[in-house]
Chains A and B, each alone.
Chain A
Amino acid sequence: MPGHESISAYLDAVSDQIRWGRARRLVIPELRQHLEDQRDAFLAEGIGDAERRAVEEMGDPVAVGAELDRIHRPKPQWALLALTAALALAGMLLRIWVAADSDSTGRAALSFALGCAALLAGYFLDVSFLSRRPRAVCAALLAAALAALPLIHRPGAFSPFQLSHLCLFLPAAYACWLYSCRGRGWPGLLAALAGAVPVLALTCAGWYRMALIPTLLTCLILPLDACRRDWFGAGRLRSALAVCGCAAAGIAAVACTSSGWFHAAFRRLAAAISPEHAAGVGYQSARIRESLDASRWWGQGVWTGAEPYETAVPTWDSDNLLTTLIYRLGWLPFLILILAFAALMIWLLYRGLRQRGQMGRFLVVTTVIVLGAQALFNVLWSLGVTWHSSFFPLLTGNTSTVVDMALIGLSLSALRGDSIACEKIPPQRLPRYKIRVVIERS
């Protein structure tokens, strides 16, 4: 094998054949370990020129590299990428059509362009760094959120961008933190639960209260999933009970510190369930239901209200974009749009749950929780159950659309890179033996 007589030269030749960087990080150290073992064995047997012999034993580096390259390939996610872009495009066209003024048109086009850029940036980003440096990523996201707080609270800052919507990244920060706590026993479980505190506190402080719901769900669902897999080595049931107990305490604490928000939420819920009995808060719900009664299966509805539709339904081009869609185009286009979005979420979740990489699965599940919660609350709001306002992901055309598309891009990147080379497996700890010494007095 001329030219490949040393271990380094041989590994370089194999590495040249493997196009995917992540696969090289897995394959090359393993081959190096093997070559060194073989070389040491030859040396122990007293065979001269041990390194060259070890390399010869391996076989042709080009053939080996080409075979490994064939096995380790990224899995493109073009269909999911296209569906996401198509939904965002539909949202942009819808916004331009329903609110035909230059300001709305410009904002819808800008958020679509930024959203597509975020989607592609996330898709082509190597998300394996999340599993390699989870604590650093979590710390960076929390630090960025903390730094953005003064800007969020300054009215008009960075208008028309709503920086508070960046809170939607915080559940992903928690996923990184939780991932870093695995395999550390009870201290790891406690650290994982304690990590939820700064994430929830920053979300509460970020003014975009809608983000609190997916963050709470993420801080509950992901640790329970980790307990189901006995990540902490503390027993499935015991660790799950600890998570549930801490979650109950956490929700109670949030309820105490944000009692005004909870009180308002319950008042809105009561008004949403029976709007005719609620004064003030039930007004919007009643107007939405009125517009839905006037809608048809296909085509524009017949509005019989005293005021024009745009006045009667105040957030007709943002929170109530779907209500406007139903009223202007009919129930059928609304159902098609909802089904397309549900298909995207189900497809994403199905692929995510089959992920080999733990971090990738966490990322996909977090994305589905964040987008699913927003969609659910927005659909309820659009149908007159005005409990909590939200923007429909990908369609509304604002900062949350850009964040949502970035999250989808990162999730698709995780699916694209799902392979045995997707994450470094931590060294398995050998069990510690306990010895009890009993001294008896004779």
Chain B
Amino acid sequence: MDLDRHFVSGSIPLLVMKLLDEKDLYGYQMIEELRRRSDDTFHLRAGTLYPLLHSLEEKGWVTAYEREASAGKPRRYYHLTEQGRAAFREKETAWNAYARAVGQVLKGGACHAGA
């Protein structure tokens, strides 16, 4: 299934922060994990991921540190800060409200505003 690019682009920060909410990861792991969990639906390009991670780091929502990965090579791991965790909760709540509203409309359910 090919998703509309616009569907995905707005939700990428939320998805990345969700992964980091669970454990510290480096860039390649995030892409693989996202692909695995979404059954190959979210195929995030590295060219999109790294600018996003760096902008999150500039905001102070994530921090980075170097650590040796299992293969013995040093990798730049990302860690969600407390500030980032609070921002993630906020975004998650907003996304759930949005998804619920879209779902209701698509199912033809009640629309309270101006009904």
Point out the residues of chain B lying under 8 angstroms from A64, CB to CB: 47, 50-51
B6 to chain A, nearest CB (A): 17
Asked if B85 is an interface residue, CB under 8 A from chain A, the answer is no
Q: Tell me the complex Cα distance, A64–B48, Å.
A: 7
Point out the residues of chain A lying under 8 angstroms from B76, CB to CB: 30, 33, 425
- Given A68-B51, A420-B64, 12 more pairs with CB closer than 8 A: A33-B27, A33-B75, A34-B46, A38-B28, A59-B47, A60-B47, A64-B47, A64-B51, A70-B51, A72-B54, A425-B76, A428-B67
B50 in contact with A420 (CB, 8 Å): no
Q: Tell me the complex Cα distance, A432–B44, Å.
A: 36
Q: Which B positions have Cβ atoms within 8 angstroms of A?
A: 26-28, 45-48, 50-51, 54-55, 57-58, 64-68, 73-77
**8 A-B contacts (beta carbon < 8 Å):** A35-B46, A70-B51, A71-B58, A420-B57, A425-B65, A427-B74, A428-B66, A430-B67
In the complex, how many residues of chain A place their beta carbon closer than 8 angstroms to a beta carbon of chain B? Answer: 27
B19 to chain A, nearest CB (A): 16
Select B48's contact among A30, A34, A59, beta carbons within 8 Å. Answer: A59
The 8 closest A-B pairs by CB, nearest first: A59-B47, A64-B47, A67-B51, A37-B28, A59-B45, A420-B57, A427-B66, A428-B67
Asked if A419 is an interface residue, CB under 8 A from chain B, the answer is yes
A63 in contact with B47 (CB, 8 Å): yes
Point out the residues of chain A lying under 8 angstroms from B77, CB to CB: 428
Q: Tell me the complex Cα distance, A70–B52, Å.
A: 12
Q: Tell me the complex Cα distance, A64–B66, Å.
A: 22
List the A residue with the shortest CB-CB distance to B43.
A57
Query: CB-CB contacts of A404-442 with B at 8 A, as 1s and 0s?
Result: 000000000000000110000111101000000000000
B51 in contact with A71 (CB, 8 Å): yes
Asked if A27 is an interface residue, CB under 8 A from chain B, the answer is yes
List the A residue with the shortest CB-CB distance to B60.
A356
Q: Tell me the complex Cα distance, A253–B47, Å.
A: 58
List the A residue with the shortest CB-CB distance to B54.
A71
Point out the residues of chain A lying under 8 angstroms from B74, CB to CB: 33, 427
Q: Tell me the complex Cα distance, A37–B55, Å.
A: 23
Q: Tell me the complex Cα distance, A59–B5, Å.
A: 14
Q: Tell me the complex Cα distance, A58–B54, Å.
A: 16
Point out the residues of chain B lying under 8 angstroms from A57, CB to CB: 45-46
A425 in contact with B75 (CB, 8 Å): no
Select A30's contact among B50, B58, B67, beta carbons within 8 Å. Answer: B50
B49 to chain A, nearest CB (A): 9
